[in-house]
């Protein structure tokens, strides 16, 4: 099925560990983004990309890195996990940043202990 | 905050009733979008309304936009238990920023 695929669905990390959250889409969307969702906070933008080779910071980028080597993939790297990064992470993609609705993945629930 | 707010934060209605959720914002927008999120799932795009539009329909959903009041509303008619979810508005503003609100939690009681 076409859509946005996120892996893993669940992850527990120890403080200081690093990991990569994977995101892939097969809709040929140019725009991809990462959000985190915390209770009472809505969704906050971490990083986004308007095309292969182009990335930019969102509202809460600290502690996260991204790269966009292909149109399909947009991995999110946690450099040194902290308990404050415990959250649900969503990847979203779209034909454009502004003019179309976003397609979301099903999320990765991350716990940092 | 640029985000604006959804109102109410939580809403509980009987099946068959209409549900209305509101979204306010603070700066001028290019478009406003509504999303649904079922528990434990990702968000699903419902409707996008542009700043020069006043009303859009999709099935049982009706979205209105009042740019003079900086507000939008989502109406779900003849609600069903399957409509139980959180509903978010997201605003794309004139500064090219895109913000989600904190959502309205809708419970439809069978």
| pLDDT score at A1 | 62
| pLDDT score at A96 | 87
List residues of A whose CB lies inside 8 A of any B CB: 4, 35, 40-45, 90, 92, 97-107
Q: Is the dihedral of CA B79, B84, B86, B90 positive or negative?
A: negative
pLDDT greater than 50 at residue B8: yes
pLDDT in tens, B33-77: 999 999 989 999 999 999 999 999 999 999 999 999 999 999 999
- The residue-averaged pLDDT of B10-31 equals 95
Range in A16-20, A40-44, B60-64, B93-97 the model is least confident about? B93-97
A90–B42 C-beta distance less than 8 A: yes
pLDDT greater than 70 at residue B2: no
Q: Distances from the Cα of B71 to the Cαs of A7, B7, B27, in angstroms?
A: 36, 10, 11
- Which of A100, A101, A107 comes nearest B42 by C-beta? A107
Instruction: Count contacts between A and B (CB, < 8 Å).
Output: 48
Short-list B36, B106, B10, B100, CA closest to A41: B100
Give the chain A residue nearest B98 (alpha carbons): A98
Place B1 in a pLDDT band, splitting at 50, 70 and 90: very low
pLDDT in tens, A53-88: 999 999 999 999 999 999 999 999 999 999 999 999
Q: Distances from the Cα of B87 to the Cαs of A15, B38, B42, in angstroms?
A: 33, 9, 12
Contact residues on chain B for A101, CB-CB shorter than 8 A: 33, 35, 45-46, 48
| pLDDT score at B93 | 84
pLDDT greater than 60 at residue B3: no
Contact residues on chain A for B91, CB-CB shorter than 8 A: none
Element (H, E) at A22: strand A19-25
Q: Which two tokens stand for residue B17?
A: 């009733």
| pLDDT score at A5 | 97
- Which of B31, B33, B88 comes nearest A42 by C-beta? B88
| pLDDT score at A75 | 98
Q: Which two tokens stand for residue A16?
A: 């200081």
Reduced 3-state DSSP string for B32-93: EEEEEECCCCCEEEEEEEECCCCEEEECCEEEEEECCCCEEEEEECCCCHHHCEEEEEEEEE
Q: Distances from the Cα of A93 to the Cαs of A3, A46, A65, A85, B53, in angstroms?
A: 9, 14, 18, 22, 24
pLDDT greater than 70 at residue A107: yes
Give the chain A residue nearest B2 (alpha carbons): A59
- The residue-averaged pLDDT of B91-99 equals 83
């Amino acid at each position: 099925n076409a859509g946005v695929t996120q892996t893993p669905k669940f992850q527990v990390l120890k403080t200081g560990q690093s990991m990569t959250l994977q995101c892939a889409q097969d809709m040929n969307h140019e725009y991809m983004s990462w959000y985190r969702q915390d209770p009472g906070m809505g969704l906050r933008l971490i990083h986004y990309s308007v095309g292969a080779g182009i990335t930019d910071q969102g509202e809460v980028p600290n502690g996260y890195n991204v790269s966009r080597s292909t149109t399909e993939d947009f991995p999110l790297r946690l450099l040194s996990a902290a308990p404050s990064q415990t959250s649900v992470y969503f990847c979203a993609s779209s034909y454009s940043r502004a003019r179309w609705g976003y397609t979301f993945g099903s999320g990765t629930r991350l716990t940092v202990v | 905050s640029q985000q604006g707010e959804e109102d109410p934060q939580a809403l509980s209605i009987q099946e068959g009733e209409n549900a209305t959720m509101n979204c306010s914002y603070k700066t001028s927008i290019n478009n406003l979008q509504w999303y649904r999120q079922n528990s434990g799932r990702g968000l699903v795009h419902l409707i996008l309304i542009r700043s020069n539009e006043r009303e859009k329909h999709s099935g049982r959903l009706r979205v209105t936009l009042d740019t003079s009041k900086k507000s939008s509303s989502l109406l779900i008619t003849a609600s069903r238990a399957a409509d139980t979810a959180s509903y978010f508005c997201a605003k794309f503003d004139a500064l090219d920023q895109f913000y989600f609100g904190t959502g309205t939690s809708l419970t439809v009681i069978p």
